[in-house]
Amino acid sequence: MLTGDATVDIDDEAIEIMRSGTGGLTMKIQAKDCAQGGLFQTEPERGDHSATRFTHVLTPNTFYFDNPNFRAREGDTVHFKDTTIVVPARVNIANDVSRRFVARASAQVADRVSEPNGSNQIRKRNGTFATVLHCGGVTRWDVASGGRMGFVTGEDSVEVAPPPTECIQNCQAQNRVRGRAVVLGHPFPVPAASRLQPRSPF
């Protein structure tokens, strides 16, 4: 439980809030101008170095989906900065109202909990199916002490880039690539076959 006084540090484009609690627990939230890509990140630290479980519940009009634009290119090699990267599968967040809205979780030193009750069969480009254990409105993550749980929107969420570096101290709220990644986008509306089900694992 967080019981200590909260400290707030604000500069021209960012805010940092920190609060401590019992058992060596501290929680830090960093938030930046949305134009910078990475909106915010939450960093837990524990005296016993155990993980912290985060549960994300989307609003009723938003949903997780297995991005078919990434499935169509899965396994391809594309340019990234001054090297190359293989296109992976990608889970994004979208809605049925805003064509330009797309987002995804940005985790660092964290593991998403696979949801056996959310078993989805997603068609791959070769006609076979991938089993995706992911629900449509709820995700759970185990974040290591010193790791982070963040959120990115727009182009940053649909670019082909490597996962965040394994950072557990003085991490930044975004890993900017400044236009040097291939952007695959997302379809609108999102096809029903790509929307992850059921809504919740509970």
Task: Give me the mean pLDDT over the 2-20 stretch.
Answer: 90
Q: What pLDDT does residue 138 have?
A: 97
Q: What pLDDT does residue 166 have?
A: 65
SS3 state of residue 124 = coil
SS3 state of residue 111 = strand
Task: Give me the mean pLDDT over the 1-11 stretch.
Answer: 90
What does the pLDDT look like over 30-87, one tens digit per residue? 887 765 556 788 999 999 999 999 999 999 999 999 999 999 999 999 999 889 999 9
* Torsion angle of the four alpha carbons 192, 195, 196, 200, in this order, in degrees rounded to the nearest 10: -90
Range of weakest confidence among 31-45, 79-93, 106-120, 151-165: 31-45
Evaluate if residue 184 carries a pLDDT over 50. yes
Buried b (16+ CB within 10 A) or exposed e, 34-44: eeebbbbbbbb
Evaluate if residue 19 carries a pLDDT over 80. yes
CB 92 within 8 A of CB 64: yes
pTM, to two decimals? 0.88
CB 113 within 8 A of CB 76: no
Evaluate if residue 125 carries a pLDDT over 70. yes
Range of weakest confidence among 57-66, 124-133, 151-160, 168-177: 168-177
Give the DSSP letter string of the chain. -B-SPPEEEE-SSEEEEEEEBGGG-EEEEEEE-GGGSEEEEEEEE-TT---EEEEEE--TTEEEEE-HHHHTTTT-EEEETTEEEE----EEEEESS-TT--EEEEEEEEEEPP-TT-EEEEE-TTS-EEEEE--SSEEEEEEEEEEEEEEEEGGGGGB--PPPP---SS--S----TT-B-B----SSPPGGGB-SSS---
